[in-house]
Structure 1
Amino acid sequence: MATAGRKPKPHLAAVREGTFRPDKHTEGARYEPRDPQEPDWSDLLPGDEDVQAKAHEVWQTVVPAVVRAAGLTDAQRHTAIEYCLTAARIWQGERVLSRDGMTVMTERGIVKHPMTTILNAYRSHFRSLTGELGLSPSSAARITPPQDGDDDGDIFD
């Protein structure tokens, strides 16, 4: 079957899946290899020191691993920040549900706690970020770790 008109897979998708071929894919953007800088969580999550601490904990646990495994750079840090924020918000929402219960009383009677709907949206976003960063077992298996040393043509050497 002809593949005319079909776009090749994006570079990172091909690398993650282990199907990258120089004759079919371009390498895409290349970023300077610099560890991402952790944001000031009090700017992003004002007023709740427990949630700020959770975001910091997730950053300290996850980001160094992603830097080693996938070569995450400072230019790509916004995905990691979003991952940490989402994880912290899920943690915060679970605390609310633990305190309030899964249902609430309204003028129409007992209904599902609104936080369950919010948490479902955060969890969906969390799953997509987990795949982007290679943190699920299946996405991690598709990532080729960055190579140490000279890669013949690295503009940042």
Structure 2
Amino acid sequence: MAGRRPKPTALKLVTGNPGGRPLNKLEPKPETGIPPCPDWFLTGGHSRELWDRLAPDLFKMGVLTLSDASALEMLCISYAEFREANAQIERDGMTFMSENGLIKKHPAVGIRAEAWRRVMSGLVEFGLTPAARSKVQATPTPEASPFDEFL
């Protein structure tokens, strides 16, 4: 599908629907919650580290549902690939000498660049970059007074 990605109805409501197009009243509303971390994510691994850090924050922000498990999983996998490629570049350097004496780019450089694109795309999907957040106008929650707590 060519063109911009459609904006979710909830996001249109928060931003004030600047385009004025009709809202989708039949948009699915998945069950909110923090999906379980995939069993195969290794404890202490980069994928698991990002899942444990992001899932609670995304849930508090109101952008994570149980149906988003696969999208969050793909983001975490891409992040782990980025970290692993970056570690290999730090160990081996960005270039290497080929058998015929030419200096070539280390294969991990391309892997890191592609993983970076996927990570950034995933972060934008969840509203986790400054530019993505700048498009959302959150409604502040009124602070409870001590009198309200008493009642």
Under a length normalisation based on structure 1, what TM-score does the superposition of the two structures give?
A: 0.72
Partner amino acid, structure 1, of 2:53 = T
Measured against aligned partners, the alpha-carbon deviations of 1:64-91 in whole angstroms (never above 9, x if no partner) come to: 1111113311111111111111111111
2:107 to 89, 114, 134: 114
Separation in structure 2 between the aligned mates of residue 33 and residue 89 of structure 1, nearest angstrom: 28
Contact 2:9/2:23 (CA < 8 Å) preserved in 1?
no
Partner amino acid, structure 1, of 2:16 = T
Separation in structure 1 between the aligned mates of residue 32 and residue 62 of structure 2, nearest angstrom: 11
Aligned counterpart, 2:15:
18
Shift of 1:57: 1.1
Report 1:17-96 matches (<5 A): 18-20=15-17, 24-27=22-25, 28-42=27-41, 53-96=45-88
Separation in structure 2 between the aligned mates of residue 12 and residue 25 of structure 1, nearest angstrom: 9
Partner amino acid, structure 2, of 1:15 = L
Separation in structure 1 between the aligned mates of residue 108 and residue 121 of structure 2, nearest angstrom: 20
Pairs aligned (count)? 134
Contact 2:95/2:103 (CA < 8 Å) preserved in 1?
yes
Unpaired runs of at least 5, structure 2: 142-151
Residues 68, 143 of structure 1: alpha-carbon distance in 2 compared, 3 angstrom cutoff: farther
Partner amino acid, structure 1, of 2:15 = G
Runs of 4+ in 1 over 6 A off after TM superposition: none
Q: RMSD value over aligned CA atoms?
A: 3.0
